[in-house]
Amino acid sequence: MRSFVTIGAAALALAVSAPAFAQTQDPAAPQAPATTPAPAPVTAGQPVKDSTGAVIGSVAEVKPDAAGKSMATIKMDDKTFAVDVANLAVADGATLINATKAELEGMLGVKK
């Protein structure tokens, strides 16, 4: 009789703790990806800020190139250049480019 009570107690303990085990996750187990909001789109007319936060120009247009990749045409002073939209970000209504104005001018061959 004693072993029957012990087995019954063990079964009861297991039944009570099973839901708790089901709710815990193994830290090494793959996790569902967190949902992140879609990035804001780059649109014509947005101001363009360089990596220092200074406004350096504006987005003249956004359209696909021959390969179908979305490209933004940026007007900076009297120069225009195209940048893959995937390399830009949008924050507070402005398009952000990860270069300074001086670096961009150097790439465009602007002499000062």
3-state secondary structure of 31: coil
Instruction: Tell me the sheet residues that pair with 55.
Output: 49
The H or E element containing residue 74 is strand 70-76
Structural domains in the chain, sorted by start:
47-108 (3.90.50.10)
According to the model, what pLDDT value does residue 48 have? 98
Instruction: Note the pTM of the prediction, 2 decimals.
Output: 0.65
Classify strands 47-49 and 70-76 as parallel, antiparallel or unpaired: unpaired
Q: What is the pLDDT of residues 84-93, one digit of tens each?
A: 999 999 999 9
pLDDT tens digits, one per residue of 15-29? 444 444 445 556 666
Given a cut of 80, whether residue 63 has pLDDT beyond it is yes
Mean confidence (pLDDT) of the chain: 80
